[in-house]
Amino acid sequence: MVGHFQEFEDEYLEMMYEFYEHDPSVHVRTGELAEKLSVSPASVTEMLRRLASKDLVIYTPYKGAKLTDAGLEHGRRMKRRHRLAELLLDVLPFTGDAHETACRLEHAIDNDLELCLSLLFSTISEDPSGREIPEPDEQILQRLNEAKQQYFLLSEAPKQQRCMISAMFFLPQQAKIMNEQGLKVGQTFVKIGTILQFENGHACELNQDISSKIVVKIVD
C-alpha cells in the first residue's frame, strides 16, 4: 500500500508541476486538479492536506495549493522521468499508448536508470510531443557530468581513443544489418576521422543518424 500511496503523491506533484510550467505564480485550485486527474474534489482536498503535512505543498482552503521548494523538486523530477520514458518508447518498436505507458514507467525509474536515459538522450531537450524536458536535479547532474567523461554517443565519441560499443538502439532488421557489418555490443574500436577501425581488422563509416543511436564507452 505504501507504494500505491507514493505513486498517488507522485501523480499529484507531477500534475502541479505541469501547472507551474505554465504559470509559476499560480495557485492550483481543487477543481482543476480533480478534472485533470479524473478524481473527486474531496479526494484532491484529502491529498493536498497530506502533501501539505509533508511540506510538499502549501494548501489554502478555497484558494488552492502551490508547490513548496521540495514539492517543486519532486514534481520536476517526476515530469523529467515521464518525458524521458516517452523518448525511450519513441525509439523502441512500441505501438501502444506512449503517454499512458510512460505514466506507469516513470514510477519505476530510479536515479541509476534516469542517469542512463539522460546519457542516451543527452542531445535532446524535448519529448516527442515537443514539450521541454526539465533539467536534472543536482545529484543526477553531478553524476551525469562524471559519466560524460566515459560514455558518449558514437557521433560524439573522441577520435584516436579506444572505445567499446555499450548499447545500440535499432529495430530488429536494422540491428541485424549492423551485426552483419560487424557492429555488436562489446566490440572495441578506434575512431579515425569518420572511420571506425575495429580491433578485429574490420573498418566502416557510419552516417550521423546511425551514430546517434549507438552508445560507446572509453576503455583503457
CATH at residue 212: 2.30.30.90
Cβ–Cβ < 8 Å for 147, 217? no
Domain with residue 60: its CATH number is 1.10.10.10
- Of 67, 91, 112, which residue constitutes the final position of a domain? 67
Distance of alpha carbon 147 from alpha carbon 138, whole angstroms: 14
Residues 10 and 59 in one domain: yes
Residues 111 and 159 in one domain: no
Distance of alpha carbon 194 from alpha carbon 5, whole angstroms: 51
Please name which of 11, 103, 105 lies closest in space to residue 50, comparing C-alpha atoms: 11
Phi, psi of 128 (to 5 degrees): -60, -20
Q: How confident is the model at residue 163 (pLDDT cuts 50, 70, 90)?
A: very high
Cβ–Cβ < 8 Å for 22, 36? no
- Of 67, 87, 119, which residue constitutes the final position of a domain? 67
Assign 13 to helix, strand or coil: helix
Is the pLDDT at 1 greater than 70, yes or no?
A: no
- Of 86, 112, 147, which residue constitutes the final position of a domain? 147
To which H or E segment does residue 87 belong?
helix 69-91
Cβ–Cβ < 8 Å for 68, 56? yes
The whole-number pLDDT of residue 39 equals 95
Please name which of 31, 32, 28 lies closest in space to residue 51, comparing C-alpha atoms: 28
Assign 213 to helix, strand or coil: coil
Provide the residue range defining the domain that includes 139. 72-147
Residues 124 and 184 in one domain: no
Residues 58 and 106 in one domain: no
215 beta partners: 153, 167
The whole-number pLDDT of residue 156 equals 85
Residues 91 and 126 in one domain: yes
Is the pLDDT at 2 greater than 50, yes or no?
A: no
pLDDT per residue as tens digits for the range 168-204: 888 778 888 888 877 888 889 999 988 899 888 888 8
Domain with residue 126: its CATH number is 1.10.60.10
Phi, psi of 108 (to 5 degrees): -95, -5
Residues 90-108 have a mean pLDDT of 92
Residues 195 and 212 in one domain: yes
Q: How confident is the model at residue 158 (pLDDT cuts 50, 70, 90)?
A: confident
Q: Tell me how many domains the chain contains.
A: 3
Q: What is the pTM of this model?
A: 0.78
